[in-house]
Chains A and B, each alone.
Chain A
Amino acid sequence: MSRIGRRVLLRWWPRSLFGRVALILFLGLAAAHALTFWLVLQERGQASLRMMISYLAKDIATSVAILDRVPAGERALWLARIERPNYRYVLGTPAAGAPTDSALAQQVTAALANALGRGYEVRATLPRDAGDRALLQVNLRLADGTPLAIDMSPPSLAISPWVAAVLSAQLSLLAVATWLAVRLATRPLAQLAKAADELGLELNGKTLPEDGPIEVSRAAVAFNLMQRRIAEHVAERLRMLAAISHDLQTPITRMRLRADLLESAALRDKLQADLDAMQMLVQEGIAFARSAQGITEPACRVDLNALLDSLVCDYVDGGERLSLTGRIEHSIVTRPHALRRIITNLVDNALKFGKDVEIRLDAEARDRVLVAVCDRGPGIPPAELSAVLQPFYRLESSRNRDTGGAGLGLAIAHQLARALGGSLILANRASGGLEARLLLALAEAVGSGDGVAPSGVHR
């Protein structure tokens, strides 16, 4: 196939499985139908031709017998009366055409010779002047030797007009059936894709319904099994991380005490710094494993302004440079320890990389609040903005200076934000630096119920 041809085919070749299967099915069915239609037409033509030839031979034999018996002078008068729509008689030798022995000619001459009996020589020629729609010319001589020519034209087999209507109705039926069948086959695939998509986001994603046709239900069962296995695998990994982190705490405690007992202050400080780094890894590991298991803390009504302000005060009292802008009018319903942890992680991360860290609090919509933690650090390459929210992901660039920690701080914040029914998005600021945007609902979908006083919601 030429390159252009392939390109054309590619252009018309549908991208979706639905389109491809529908196209193949429909074209195949339509071609099969066309073939059938053609076959029926052929068959009908041949059958009627056979019938016509035998009828024609007898009719011509009768006419020849009449002409034989009629006086030569009156023959011309009879010609018009024995003429038929498909053939007419000509006396004499009209300009003879080339002899032919086509299948039709052979059939006709054989049938004629048979009907006329002995004594007649029948020859088939092609009429010279194809002007009139003659198909075949048969030449013979009457008993008295007068030449007779019979001009035959093909029979017209008209197709009834309703055939076209039925045919198009049939084609539409085909189209509808194809569409239905293809949809039936491809829809489970779309559902599977959607479920797999959700699996990436939510480990405890929805299971697929395991009913439907055998193949579909088998795929659903296999998918659900895979989902369970992945969840078990992740849980196993978390348990391992938690167990290792937990068990490391005792040796680290011993090492800390041993270091504190050392005489050399320089060595002691170096060891303590190493132990600080180890301890940070261990604590992040434990915190991550815990955050992945969801939050057990109950929700309560919280003054978000006070929560953020007290947090900022603690940082400032500890000698960090940090500021808070913005207030919201309403209290929110949330899990304060988890929320505090998210913001602490974001602030710690911001302080690690940038000076002038600012927390911005804003009412985002009627029912949502935005807590943005902004820094003036180097930011994060756009391609890696969502990847850094994954556990153990480390940037290769300048942001990954020797800062310690396992890189779990943002992952923990991300997990907890989701557990709170909110979302965490990182973005580079136009003016430089990173902005971590935490969006929270004023009231969590769960846990906003009893015992929570509706203070300050409508002011």
Chain B
Amino acid sequence: MERVDHILIVDDDIEIRGLLTEYLEKNGFKATAAADGRQMRVALAAGSVDLIVLDLMLPGEDGLALCRHLRAGGPESVPVLILTARNEETDRIVGLEMGADDYLTKPFAARELLARIAAVLRRTRMLPPNLRGAAEPARMLAFGAWSLDTTERHLIDAAGTMVSLSGAEYRLLRVFLSHPQRVLNRDQLLTLTQGRGADAFDRSIDLLVSRLRQRLRDEAREPRYIKTIRNEGYVFAAAVMPRKDAP
């Protein structure tokens, strides 16, 4: 039988801890609960935790501080999924900058939490071990005349103008940026793009690529960024340079 993923739940609400533990166990995970930072460290020391579900609002040391602490621990640290009751953009951004792998706002549907946990686990495992943990150190990914802001999920052109992306476009671009100069066929693109599973898009990859080219102001006949390889798929032709800072 395959190994069961171990999820550590850190939440100060005893009811939510109990319910989450029960729900995750019912769905094939091993779950441990901790009420605060101290209990979290005890649980981490005790055994192999695959992912931490961390509430931001905690008594004593709050979630953001804990997250930063975890990330300072080194490249092998455990992926973190943040839960926040505050539905504020800044919280989300700060959370992701502190090194969280994903976030979910309370109240959430339990199924959504399952999907996010699965996605984070899959994503972490796809990365080579030396990059794991330091999952997304660079907020900005620069290529050609563009930079992609991975927290705000939009493009910035050479003149500093913000160019928005739809969810599907962003996911496709992320796939291209993490596999530059590699030919990706349509099936690969589809699998990699639908990481979240929940909101699959019904448009073909070709349509999505042409939309993304439009956003990048790329000529369809002679594209600079996303080139078509006949009968094979697409290749992202530009070099990608991670940058830590926001513009």
B167 touches A300 (CB 8 A): no
Interface locus among B19-27, B118-126, B179-187, B226-234:
B19-27
Instruction: Offer 29 A-B interface pairs, CB within 8 angstroms, sorted by A.
Output: A246-B85, A246-B86, A249-B107, A253-B16, A253-B85, A254-B15, A254-B16, A254-B19, A255-B107, A260-B110, A261-B19, A275-B107, A296-B90, A301-B159, A301-B162, A302-B161, A302-B164, A303-B157, A303-B161, A303-B162, A310-B164, A313-B211, A314-B166, A317-B167, A336-B154, A336-B162, A454-B159, A455-B159, A456-B159
Q: How far is the CA of A286 from the CA of B155 in the complex (A)?
A: 29
Docked Cα-Cα span, A123 to B88, in Å, equals 114
Distance A300 CA – B155 CA, assembled complex (angstroms): 13
- Supposing A257-B23, A257-B110 touch, asked if A301 and B168 sit within 8 A by C-beta, the answer is no
Closest 8 interchain pairs by CB? A455-B159, A257-B19, A313-B166, A260-B110, A453-B160, A253-B107, A252-B107, A310-B166
Q: Mark A255-277, 1 if CB is under 8 A from B, else 0.
A: 11110110000000000100100
Query: Is B163 in contact with A306, judged by CB distance below 8 angstroms?
Result: yes
Chain B proximity mask over A64-96: 1 for CB below 8 Å, otherwise 0 = 000000000000000000000000000000000
- Does A451 sit within 8 A of B, measured CB to CB? yes
Q: Which residues of chain A from 299 to 358 have a CB within 8 Å of any chain B CB?
A: 300-303, 306-307, 309-311, 313-314, 317-319, 331, 336-337, 340
User: Which residue in chain B gives the minimum CB-CB distance to A338?
Assistant: B89
Q: In the assembled complex, which residues on chain A have CB atoms less than 8 Å from the CB atom of B157?
A: 303, 455
Taking a contact as CB atoms closer than 8 A, the residue among A279, A297, A307 that contacts B107 in the complex is A279
Contact of A257 among B20, B89, B159, B163 (CB under 8 A): B20
- By beta carbon, the residue of chain B nearest A333 is B161
B199 in contact (CB, < 8 A)? yes
Minimal Cβ-Cβ distance residue in A for B21: A257
Assuming the A-B contacts A260-B109, A313-B169, are A301 and B164 also in contact, with contact meaning beta carbons closer than 8 angstroms in the complex? Answer: no
Q: Is the CB of B199 within 8 A of A250?
A: no
In the complex, B13 has a CB within 8 A of chain A: yes
Q: A278 → chain B, closest Cβ, in Å?
A: 9
Could you tell me if B160 and A301 are in contact, using CB atoms closer than 8 angstroms?
yes
Residues in A lying within 8 Å of B, measured CB to CB = 246, 249-250, 252-258, 260-261, 272, 275, 279, 282-283, 286-287, 290, 296-297, 300-303, 306-307, 309-311, 313-314, 317-319, 331, 336-337, 340, 451-456
User: Is there contact, CB below 8 Å, between A256 and B159?
Assistant: no
| B48 contacts A by Cβ under 8 Å | no
Residues of chain A lying within 8 A (CB to CB) of residue B162: 300-303, 307, 336
A336 to B203, CA, bound (A): 26
What is the CB-to-nearest-CB distance from B20 to chain A, in angstroms, rounded to a whole number? 6
- In the complex, the answer to whether B169 meets A331 with C-beta atoms within 8 Å is no
Interface residues of B in 91-134 (CB under 8 A from A): 106-111
Whether B161 pairs with A317 at a CB distance below 8 angstroms is no
Distance (whole angstroms) from the CB of B164 to the closest CB of chain A: 4
Measured CA separation A286–B91 after assembly (Å): 14
Q: Are A256 and B165 in contact (CB under 8 A)?
A: no
**Interface flags, B178-218, vs A, CB<8A=1, else 0:** 00000000000000000000010111000000010001000
Interface contact B16-A249, CB-CB below 8 Å: no
Could you tell me the distance in whole angstroms from the C-beta of B18 to the nearest C-beta in chain A?
9
Q: How far is the CA of A253 from the CA of B110 in the complex (A)?
A: 9
The answer to whether A250 touches B106, judged by C-beta atoms less than 8 angstroms apart, is: yes
Q: What are the residues of chain B within 8 A of A257 when measuring CB–CB?
A: 16, 19-20, 23, 110
Residue in contact with A317 in the complex, picked from B26, B88, B168, CB distance below 8 Å:
B168
* Distance of A258 Cα from B108 Cα, bound (Å): 12
The residue in chain B whose Cβ has the minimal distance to the Cβ of A331 is B161
Q: Is B87 an interface residue (CB 8 A)?
A: yes
CB distance from B212 to the nearest CB of A (A): 10
A346 to B148 alpha-carbon distance, docked (Å): 28
**In contact, A311 and B166 (Cβ under 8 angstroms):** yes
Contacts of B199 in A (CB 8 A): 317-318
Whether the pair B164, A307 counts as a contact (CB closer than 8 A) is: yes
**Least Cβ distance of B63 to chain A in Å?**
15
In the complex formed, the residue of B with least CB distance to A340 is: B164
A303 touches B164 (CB 8 A): yes
Closest residue on chain A to residue B157 by CB atoms: A455
In the bound complex, CA of A309 to CA of B164 (Å): 8
Tell me the complex Cα distance, A302–B156, Å: 9
- B contact residues around A310 at 8 Å (CB): 164-166, 169, 215
A280 to chain B, nearest CB (A): 11
Q: How far is the CB of A301 from chain B (nearest CB, A)?
A: 4
